[in-house]
Structure 1
């Protein structure tokens, strides 16, 4: 997955700090490189896939909350995704 493209898509879709965008993009890339998503869904993890799924999160969620919400759903349905979650306090760091 192209991390730069994902960061661009995340910035365009969500109002988030640069640090938060970078952390979520790094976790998404790690998830893509791990291969589990392809095994579970028989499809590559793309920036469009990430953004689309994050847009399904409840209204008013921050980027980190959206990311962790999606990972929670993936972990519940398939297992093994919790390791890619992002600490909620990342959004409060300077």
Structure 2
């Protein structure tokens, strides 16, 4: 696996000012996306912790879930079939 869930959770929490619970939700979606191999098939490169952090850093300001949904929305527009990896609702 190219995603280190613990490292990703820590970095999401530290860099994007989200709660631990919210960061865990994003990590679960990221692992599901990586396991699907969909990103790698479309982009031609594996989904890694560093790729996710770079992409979320480019997103408009917001929590980790906000940034994740922005990126997933971009992938949906570009390739389709990414909506299922979005975070529909995060309850604090």
The TM-score, its normalising length taken from structure 1, stands at 0.88
Q: Write out per-residue CA displacement over residues 57-93 of structure 1, whole angstroms, 9 at most, x where no aligned residue.
A: 113x2211111000000000001111010124x1x43
Deviation at 1:25, TM superposition (A): 0.4
Deviation at 1:12, TM superposition (A): 2.5
Deviation at 1:16, TM superposition (A): 0.5
Alignment partners' CA distance in 1, 2:35 and 2:4: 11
Report the count of equivalent residues.
90
Alignment partners' CA distance in 2, 1:76 and 1:40: 12
Check the 8 A contact 1:37/1:44 in 2, yes or no.
yes
Name the Cα RMSD after superposition.
1.1
5+ residue gaps, structure 1, are: none
5+ residue gaps, structure 2, are: none
Alignment partners' CA distance in 2, 1:11 and 1:62: 9
Structure 1 stretches (4+) deviating beyond 4 angstroms? none
Secondary structure at 1:28 match in 2: helix
Alignment partners' CA distance in 2, 1:44 and 1:25: 16
Alignment partners' CA distance in 2, 1:62 and 1:11: 9
